[in-house]
Structure 1
Amino acid sequence: MPRFARLFEAAADTLNAYYQAVADNSIDAVMSLWIDEEFATCICADGTHLHGLENIRAGLGKQLEAQPVTIEPLDIRVYDSLGTVVYAIAEAHQPAGTASPHMIFTTYVMVHERGEWRIAHIHASTMPMETAGQFAVKLRHGKGSLH
């Protein structure tokens, strides 16, 4: 096993912790996963741009307060290098009390900082309805999302 194999697995641990923190509706847990730099950015699926940790906390906090959501990753693509991991993920966002999920494409950029993987940037965008339908059909037929 290569020396860095565990290093990249730890980035997945951070991503899983993010999903859990969102499901737990805990803005403190969500923010504990971000890089400790003001260049951190988040573009939400509704188009909102959040720049800097204070704005990210306020914006994501409002979203979590408005409606708790569970995120299920459906298709994950990983691009990694020694200090950076990028996840390109098709996700189903299930807001509490709704019948059907919102299909979202999300990119997470994580950097290795002081021995830990931290989120530096999130970019989410709503999946067009036609694409979401095609995606669902391919998943049902076991072909994966990009075949």
Structure 2
Amino acid sequence: MPRFARLFEAAADTLNAYYQAVAEANVDSVMALWIDEEFATCICADGTHLHGLERIRAGLATQLGAAPVNIEPLDIRVYDSLGTVVYAIAEAHQPVGPGGAPRMIFTTYVMVHERGEWRIAHIHASAMPQEAAGQFAAKMRHGQGPLH
């Protein structure tokens, strides 16, 4: 097994911690996963651009306060190199609580290895077009996998 196998698995631990913190609407836990640099950026599924840690914290606090979500990754593509991991994920975002309709989101996470830990440097989310979401769901129902 390659020497760096565990190194990249740890990036998945950061992603899982992000999903958990979002589900709990715990902004402090979410922000603890970000790189400690002001160049951090987040483009939200609604098109909001957040640049810098303070704006990311404020934007996520507003979003999570209004509508915390459980995020279920449906298809994950991983691109890694020494010091950087990029996840391209098709996700189902299910609002926590009654009455919310799930949304299909394409999200890219860029993580960097900083001081021995994997940290989020950038998130880019965009709503999946309705037609693509329907095709994606149909393929999953028929057991073809999401991207066949």
> TM-score, normalized by length of structure 1?
0.98
Deviation >2 Å, runs of 4+ = 96-100
Amino acid in the other structure paired with 1:17? A
Match of 2:65 in 1: 65
2:12 is the alignment partner of 1:12? yes
Deviates more, 1:125-134 or 1:91-100: 91-100
- What is the Cα-based RMSD across aligned positions, in Å? 0.7
Q: Which residue of 2 aligns with 1:3?
A: 3
- Deviations 1:32-86, CA, capped at 9 Å, x for gaps: 0000000000000000000000000000000000011110000000000001000
Distance 1:82 1:123 in 2: 21
> Match of 1:64, as an amino acid?
L
- Partner Cα separation in structure 1 for residue 25 and residue 101 of structure 2: 19
Equivalent pairs, count: 147
Q: Name the amino acid aligned to 1:14.
A: T
Structure 2 SS opposite 1:72? strand
CA distance in 2, matches of 1:7, 1:55: 30
In structure 1, the partner of 2:136 is: 135
The equivalent residue for 1:108 is 109
Give the 3-state SS of the residue equivalent to 1:63 in structure 2.
Answer: helix
Answer yes or no: is 1:119 the counterpart of 2:120.
Answer: yes
Q: Distance in 2 between matches of 1:100 and 1:132?
A: 13
| Aligned partner of residue 64 in structure 1, secondary structure | helix
How many percent identity over aligned positions?
Answer: 83
Matched ranges for 1:33-72 at <5 A: 33-72=33-72
Unaligned runs of 5+ in 1: none
What's the counterpart of residue 144 of structure 1? 145
The CA deviation at 1:142 is 1.3
Q: Measured at CA, do residues 99 and 49 of structure 1 come closer, stay the same or move farther in structure 2, by a change above 3 Å?
A: closer
Structure 2: tracts of 5 or more residues without a match: none
So what's the TM-score if we normalise by structure 2? Answer: 0.97
Q: What is the deviation of 1:99?
A: 4.7
Of 132-141 and 94-103, more deviation after overlay is shown by: 94-103
Measured after TM superposition, the shift of residue 98 of structure 1 is 2.9
